[in-house]
Structure 1
């Protein structure tokens, strides 16, 4: 079974919570303790996730008395694949797909070596086509919420 780590799931939850107060430089900042309280995720875990997301440029820290964290861009422009890579590393089904040399006993005689590449590419493409906003839904993303509220009027 292919599964993402709990940290990746938590990263999406934290980003969705950050989106409630807006994204980008104009967005309000939220503290790690505040995010932990709002999401129900332990504070040390939230801090760890924020550090990973910050290293990937998905969130930014703001220093000072009113400091905290905010998104660097709106959720609809953040592919899920970027969050996965930020937290779990490169997306690869097997060690040989991610370029790991010497990580398999049968590497020299493997009949399917290199054949996983199209499968891996398809998974990357699919995950790049889903944004964090798609997962967060209208309640957590102002831009998505505004579009959703217009949908009934546009259908008429």
Structure 2
């Protein structure tokens, strides 16, 4: 079953673009995270999306958030993609599509293209936004707006 807003992010692991092990538990519960699933490295929409996240990355970092891109591309493909476009954030290889299935990310265009879905998760690992759109560059402002709103909402102290 697909994850919904209000659900907790499940634990998962994958290899990053440098071949290192990444464990979701290493950042969940510590800071807000944007997990964005995209179809394929070096395609026009995915490159535009990655570069938009790159260009706004400092804004996310300034708010204490991390960005993690996930596709089924190989570690080598991610390494080349990250290097070519100077991507400062984590790219995870989901070549067996386990993470995609864990989140419930559905394919688009009659199942021909892997889904493009962004999950914004709060510091406690709870999904605050699920944004599903084929329009690659729409994901960045939605994610940033959600992170800003989460950061500005300070818990109320009752005396």
TM-score normalized with structure 2 length: 0.27
Q: Which has the larger share of strand? A: 2
> Which has the higher relative contact order, 1 or 2, with Cα contacts under 8 A spaced 6 or more apart?
2
Q: Return the index of the structure with the highest Cα Rg.
A: 1
Q: Which has the larger share of helix? A: 1
